[in-house]
Amino acid sequence: MGARKVVANNRRARRDFEIHEIYEAGLSLTGSEVKSIRRGRVSLDEAYARVEEAEVWIHGMHVAPYAPSSFYGHEPGRPRKLLLRRREIDRLLGLTARSGFTLVPLSLYFNTRGYAKLALAVAKGRSKVDKRRKLIEEEDERRAREAMKRHSRG
């Protein structure tokens, strides 16, 4: 994937879902959307993706309006088409057809060539118990790292 400039992360995705596979998808955007995304005015918090009629679409991704575009702006919450290869779309369709799997955006970034890309995960939702267990594990790991730091200093 190379060097990239991350614009937005979906921090809840890794906590709320168990990630199985990750795909990199391009996005079909208007000019005002690209300019707004470059300024970091985008949110993936409520976003999800769906395979519809052999195409993948992202819903719920909010891209704030770009003020200088005035009349030719964009609708902030409109569904946007994701650009993937046919075999990837077919695989995603097969995976999401199985019960419990969903498509969750992980991050939005610009690659070295300046194209906007979306890291898209095939994931399975976690139960409340699993979420709590994950939070406890992360807290334990953080405490262990801090203890190692303190021990190595002194």
Question: What are the sequence ranges of the domains in the chain?
Answer: 4-126
The superfamily (CATH) of domain 4-126 is Small protein B (2.40.280.10)
pLDDT higher than 80, residue 51: yes
24: tokens are 């990199």
pLDDT higher than 90, residue 87: yes
**Exposed, middle or buried by CB within 10 Å (0-12, 13-18, 19+), for 50?**
middle
What distance in Å separates the CA atoms of residue 76 and residue 46, rounded to the nearest whole number? 13
pLDDT class of 23 with cuts at 50, 70, 90: very high
**pLDDT mean over 53-58:** 92
What distance in Å separates the CA atoms of residue 107 and residue 104, rounded to the nearest whole number? 9
Nearest to 47 by CA among 71, 34, 32, 63: 63
Prediction pTM value? 0.77
